Structure 1
Amino acid sequence: MSASGESVSLEYRPVFPPQSTVVRERSLTPEEMEKLGNDRVLVSDFKQQKLETDAQKNWDLFYKRNTTNFFKDRHWTTREFDELKNCRESEGQKLVLLEAGCGVGNCIFPLLEEDLNIFIYACDFSPRAVEFVKKNALYCTERCLAFQCDLTKDDLQANIQVGTVDVATLIFVLSAIHPDKMQKSLEQIYKVLRPGGIVLFRDYGLYDHAMLRFKSGNKLGENFYVRQDGTRSFFFSREYLAGLFQNAGFETLVNEYVLRETVNKKEGLCVPRVFLQSKFRRPVHS
């Protein structure tokens, strides 16, 4: 499953002011409250079942259209998540990382360049995305293993030994999975993490601008929507996300909304972005 794109719904070039973190969701304007309150019509069960059946095909078509050009390389991950640098128990320890939903490698290749003492398992729902990763000039089997995997049903242990991963990342990934199957995905990651291992999470938060842009007829369920290309997106509250991870056995370390505004002075646009940025840990004595 691809990291489903922090800029999918924005077609203009953004400028990012400093962000803030809060524990309460963003307050809605009266107009926004009315819009969400009036959006009650759900996509039919038949179409929802077809979207689930075609989920992999839709992401493969996404990468066929966009190849490696849609998402920017994520050089911000080590800045936002200091665990990627500081979780080693000794200076010479090789860090073992799992990126669940690697897309075309926008996160893993900057990490491989910055940290020479790291090994990365990289999996994605889309076979086409995995092929793009393997064709990258920086891909080296001594430092990275990329493989196709549906976290909702495939067994991560077919490629990763139980209890060997230090850090797993879920960056704009869980939101693309049907809510009924999110729990299974987290349980899979729990098994391959070592006791004390960390999950670093960033994804769409409740009342993000992308959520408010969906027109009537695109709603699949509470906080769950479908885009025109058939890919789906869920918008998380802190409480909902914490419950998912806790039910999968994790401890919550950090779980905060990240608020920022995307500004385009030329177009006179300023829209609120809301993400959830969180850290969860497999208990040390588990």
Structure 2
Amino acid sequence: MDEDYVRQAQAALAKDTSTVPKFWVQKYRQEAAKNWDKFYKRNTTNFFKDRHWVDREFEELRYCEGSDTKKILEVGCGVGNFIFPLLEINPGLFVYACDFSPRAVEMVKSNAQYDTTRCHAFVCDLTANKLSDTMPPATIDLVSMIFVLSAIPPEKMADAIGNIYQVMAPGGVVLFRDYGIYDAAQLRFKPGSKLDENHYVRQDGTMSYYFTQDQLEVLFVQAGFQTVNVEYVIRKTVNKKENIDVDRVFVQAKFRRAD
């Protein structure tokens, strides 16, 4: 990242020294699934755009003529913005899709494109439910984690990653993108939104964490993964009508199960 941008971001964040009271921190963490379920009740399928970009960023998702069917697990599937565009362009995939919001999973299943011969959606809290209860251990070729880990309380992130590790086949790869430190969304939080360092709560009760490359890599390596790559991805967001010109900062990575 640009050094001037980093210095400005650090100065802005340093001004916010207040944190949410411990009672509310605990409440937000305990009610994470409930608050995301409310989110999908309010917004249904209208909030997130379909992710048509994922196969451009991750070549593992591109279709290879004549290749065997790959099994992919999408964690935090939401209402299917990743699943359905991907199944449309790549007939060589079977997708397991899970979310800890029952409402979101029902929206996936009610989509006209939902085909049980090509995908299976189910409710799962990665920090509490074993993925291996739904799919055989060591069988998943690819795992998609797109803006998911940031919604999990930091103290439970290792549990979620370990859960994923158990169902991945040897050589399987996690495809990861999430919010990076100094992202414009982090800088926009008002005082009184900070739960802990780089961890915030939105007005609707959903939480978001902002990762450094090093923090992310440590989490996966400690769970047994090998690092393929980890990098910051900077995307400029410009909206002249609303006078918005900001830097979105994401962390993009790949981690492989070696054994």
TM-score range, shorter chain: over 0.9
Q: Is the 8 A contact 1:259 1:275 kept in 2?
A: yes
Is 1:68 aligned to residue 45 of structure 2?
Answer: yes
Tell me what 2:59 maps to. 82
CA distance in 2, matches of 1:188, 1:252: 18
**1:1-286 maps to which residues of 2 (within 5 A)?**
24=1, 27-28=4-5, 32-85=9-62, 91-283=66-258, 286=259
Deviation at 1:269, TM superposition (A): 2.2
Deviation string 1:57-94 (CA, Å, 9 cap, x unpaired) is: 100100000001111111111111001127x7x93300
**Where in structure 2 are there 5+ consecutive unaligned residues?**
none
CA distance in 2, matches of 1:221, 1:160: 35
1:152 aligned partner, one-letter code: T
Q: Which runs of 4+ in 1 moved over 4 A?
A: 24-27
Deviation at 1:188, TM superposition (A): 0.7
Q: Is the 8 A contact 1:26 1:207 kept in 2?
A: no
Distance 1:25 1:58, change over 3 A: farther
Distance 1:281 1:212, change over 3 A: same
CA distance in 1, matches of 2:6, 2:224: 37
Distance 1:203 1:224, change over 3 A: same
% of aligned pairs identical?
56
Aligned CA-pair RMSD: 1.5
Deviation at 1:33, TM superposition (A): 3.0
CA distance in 2, matches of 1:266, 1:85: 36
Deviation string 1:93-150 (CA, Å, 9 cap, x unpaired) is: 0010000000000000011111112100000010000000000001111111100000
CA distance in 2, matches of 1:146, 1:161: 15
CA distance in 1, matches of 2:207, 2:3: 22
Deviation at 1:25, TM superposition (A): 7.2
CA distance in 1, matches of 2:206, 2:51: 21
1:92 aligned partner, one-letter code: S
Q: Normalization by structure 2: what TM-score?
A: 0.96
The DSSP-based 3-state class of the residue aligned with 1:41 is coil
CA distance in 1, matches of 2:243, 2:33: 37
Higher RCO (C-alpha 8 Å, min separation 6) = 1
Distance 1:213 1:222, change over 3 A: same
Which shifted more, 127-136 or 108-117? Answer: 108-117
The DSSP-based 3-state class of the residue aligned with 1:271 is strand
2:220 aligned partner, one-letter code: F
**How many corresponding residue pairs?**
259
**Where in structure 1 are there 5+ consecutive unaligned residues?**
1-23
Q: Normalization by structure 1: what TM-score?
A: 0.87
The DSSP-based 3-state class of the residue aligned with 1:28 is helix
